[in-house]
Structure 1
Amino acid sequence: MAHPNEGSEAVDVSESLGDDGAVAAFADYLENEDEELPEDGEPEGDDPDGETDEGEEADEDEQEGDEPETAIEAPVSLNADEKAVFAQLPPEAQRAWAASEARRNSQVQDATTKAANAQRAAQSHAAEAHSKAKAVFATQLAEFASHLAPTPPDPMLARENPGEYIAQKAHYDAAKAQHDELVQQVGALGDEASQEIDQAFIQQRDRELLAIPEVANEETRTDFFDRAFGVAEALGYDRDILLRDGNATDFKALVAAHGWKDKAAKYDAIMAKQMQRVRNGKTAKPGAAQPKGSSTARALKDATTRLRKTGSDADAIAAFEAQGF
């Protein structure tokens, strides 16, 4: 902000200040002009004693006290009668009530969210337990049905008593048709139970995955799964099997392995360059002056030695810096 020069009544405002800067500079100029004293050492004005009229002070106090305070909007959770009472309260009481209402609403929202999550978890566990019980029942029913399989008539009976054979064969065919239908129903029950178990597993897996910040964020979700599937492919995992059977812990482990793999690749690149410098140094003649950058090579060697011992990110960064990245 520009200040007035002594003995001058004009303000030197730079064009780069703009309108706001010019106004601020002019206000500063006026303030400094009011503080200047005449040559005889007495302040200018009609009151030589520097006293202010009591009436003027009272007027100033009234003007300051008349400034209206910003109105506080009633919380939306209040009904019409409560909002009418809220409007009649002093500002301090309004602020206290509004803060209390906001805190109560937040607590209610948290409790509602926890209750909803608990209800979903209970329903999921109940559905999973029901599906598993259905699967067990289907297995037991299939075992029971296997003992109900009818026995076909003896083919030798067709020679001895063709009429009896035909009668027994007709009875067998009817019983066999009923048994086949029972086996088919039992198999359908088992398949249904298996599908329900798989669906419950996928839903639980998705909830656990969405609890991971990188998955919950749509901008980083694709990169998260790309890293996981990239490591899975490198390790020989089948993508479809991973999608079907992999849980949230498996995906987090694969992403962590990707980070280790990336760090290992960078470390290998650093060590390859270091070894190349070592090989180049061995070709120098004994007693020759050290090549340019030998201090950098020593710093890099120390950094990589620390990195091998600790494996920390800080030492990895130090190794990169020593390499000149």
Structure 2
Amino acid sequence: MAHPNEGSEAVDVPESQGDDGAVAAFADYLENEDEELPEDGDADEDDSEAELDEGEEADGDEQEGDEPGTAIEAPVSLNADEKAVFAQLPPEAQRAWAASETRRNGQVQDATTKAANAQRAAEAHAAEAHSKAKAVFAEQLAQFAGHFSPQTPDPELARVNPGEYIAQKAQYDAMKAQHDQIVQQVSALGEEAAQEIDQAFIQQRDRELLAIPEVANEETRDGYFGRAFEAAQALGYDREILLRDGNATDFKALVSAQGWKEKADKYDAIMAKQMRRVRDAKTAKPGAAQPKGSRTTRALTDATTRLRKTGSDADAIAAFEALGI
């Protein structure tokens, strides 16, 4: 019969050493186990730290790998193929390309605006020149038609030869009707040219006025024109003539004149106030209580008196200081 342990690893069984020997052998075994195996707490702590480090590295790698760059929208000026290429570029290249497109689009817009303004100005000048030429042509036609005005037949012919007079009168009436029609057409041409010239002038004036910031802003436009009309009234301008014939330069000059007038009015008011103080100081009774500001008034009076006598710069400065200027 086979032995139960046959075919398995051989186990060294020490010989029986008695109770004391067994106790000593077990103690040696425990000491060897303590040296080979680490403490449970340290092992778990080391394992957890190792797992934590590996997890942080994995998370960092995942964040670095998964964090996309800031998405930049492709400029609208690019076509489909260019947008596809744009999407494959790194963010730095995308920003550079987008900035370049923005700058280029701005330059194109500026150039287009300047070209459009130049075209409008050229068209306006051409239309104005055409209208002026039409007006000159109408005037020349009127003078030319005047030289060919038909003459009425001699009334004496009606007494001598009534039949001939009737024939000439009929011919005159027909020629006069044709001549009047031509004159009317020439007059209409001249009126049309004058209207076109006025319209071109108004359009050009409006463009120049809208270039003024105060006029371009709807909130300050009425105030700007109000100051211009106020100055025009003070200077004797007719409002209707100004509206019809005044250009942007005229309105700018009137607004500037109104500003000067307002400053002059303020200066006159200050001087009038100072002169009232001087007159009040002169009319004050001797020994009476001096009104408030009488010391300033006396200083002004003394300074102006010295200035009239000497005319020196120092006395002039003293007079200005007494005025509070």
Instruction: Say whether the fold is shared (TM-score over 0.5).
Output: yes
- Is it true that 1:266 corresponds to 2:263 in the alignment? no
Give TM-score scaled by structure 1 length.
Answer: 0.70
2:95: which partner in 1? 95
Shift of 1:206: 0.6
Residue type at the aligned position of 2:247: N
CA contact 1:138–1:187 (8 Å) conserved in 2? yes
CA offsets per residue over residues 42-69 of structure 1, 9 Å max, x none?
xxxx9xxxxxx98799689758856544
Deviates more, 1:67-76 or 1:264-273: 67-76
C-alpha spacing 1:263/1:63, structure 2 compared with 1 (3 Å): farther
Moved over 3 A (4+): 53-69, 283-299
Aligned positions of 1:83-162 closer than 5 A: 83-162=83-162
CA contact 1:205–1:248 (8 Å) conserved in 2? yes
CA offsets per residue over residues 77-116 of structure 1, 9 Å max, x none?
1112111111111111001000000000000000000000
CA distance in structure 2 between the aligned counterparts of 1:94 and 1:246, rounded to whole angstroms: 54
2:186: which partner in 1? 186
Residue type at the aligned position of 2:134: K
2:21: which partner in 1? none
CA distance in structure 2 between the aligned counterparts of 1:86 and 1:204, rounded to whole angstroms: 46
CA contact 2:231–2:254 (8 Å) conserved in 1? yes
The Cα RMSD (Å) is 3.2
C-alpha spacing 1:97/1:233, structure 2 compared with 1 (3 Å): same
CA distance in structure 1 between the aligned counterparts of 2:269 and 2:172, rounded to whole angstroms: 76
C-alpha spacing 1:58/1:279, structure 2 compared with 1 (3 Å): farther
C-alpha spacing 1:138/1:289, structure 2 compared with 1 (3 Å): same
User: Counting helix residues as a fraction of each chain, which structure ranks higher?
Assistant: 2
CA distance in structure 1 between the aligned counterparts of 2:93 and 2:264, rounded to whole angstroms: 62
Say which one has the larger Rg. 2
CA distance in structure 2 between the aligned counterparts of 1:322 and 1:224, rounded to whole angstroms: 32
CA distance in structure 1 between the aligned counterparts of 2:69 and 2:267, rounded to whole angstroms: 63
C-alpha spacing 1:60/1:269, structure 2 compared with 1 (3 Å): farther
CA distance in structure 1 between the aligned counterparts of 2:53 and 2:272, rounded to whole angstroms: 87
Residue type at the aligned position of 1:254: L
CA distance in structure 2 between the aligned counterparts of 1:190 and 1:55, rounded to whole angstroms: 97
C-alpha spacing 1:294/1:109, structure 2 compared with 1 (3 Å): farther
CA offsets per residue over residues 226-247 of structure 1, 9 Å max, x none?
1111211222212111111000
CA distance in structure 2 between the aligned counterparts of 1:292 and 1:243, rounded to whole angstroms: 51
CA contact 1:214–1:224 (8 Å) conserved in 2? yes
1:283: which partner in 2? 283
- Is it true that 1:217 corresponds to 2:191 in the alignment? no
CA distance in structure 1 between the aligned counterparts of 2:265 and 2:63, rounded to whole angstroms: 70
CA offsets per residue over residues 126-172 of structure 1, 9 Å max, x none?
11111111111111111100000011110000110000000000000
CA distance in structure 1 between the aligned counterparts of 2:217 and 2:61, rounded to whole angstroms: 55
2:255: which partner in 1? 255
Report sequence identity in percent.
Answer: 76
CA contact 2:281–2:294 (8 Å) conserved in 1? no
Give TM-score scaled by structure 2 length.
Answer: 0.70
CA distance in structure 2 between the aligned counterparts of 1:123 and 1:147, rounded to whole angstroms: 36
Shift of 1:289: 9.2
Q: How many residues align?
A: 255
2:14: which partner in 1? none
1:176: which partner in 2? 176
Deviates more, 1:138-147 or 1:282-291: 282-291
C-alpha spacing 1:91/1:295, structure 2 compared with 1 (3 Å): farther
For structure 2, the 5+ residue unaligned runs are 1-44, 46-51, 304-319
C-alpha spacing 1:296/1:213, structure 2 compared with 1 (3 Å): farther
CA contact 1:296–1:322 (8 Å) conserved in 2? no
C-alpha spacing 1:265/1:81, structure 2 compared with 1 (3 Å): same
CA distance in structure 2 between the aligned counterparts of 1:59 and 1:283, rounded to whole angstroms: 101
Deviates more, 1:186-195 or 1:265-274: 265-274
1:16: which partner in 2? none
User: SS of the counterpart of 2:73?
Assistant: coil
CA distance in structure 2 between the aligned counterparts of 1:286 and 1:138, rounded to whole angstroms: 84
CA distance in structure 1 between the aligned counterparts of 2:56 and 2:220, rounded to whole angstroms: 63
Residue type at the aligned position of 1:76: V
C-alpha spacing 1:161/1:208, structure 2 compared with 1 (3 Å): same
Residue type at the aligned position of 1:206: D
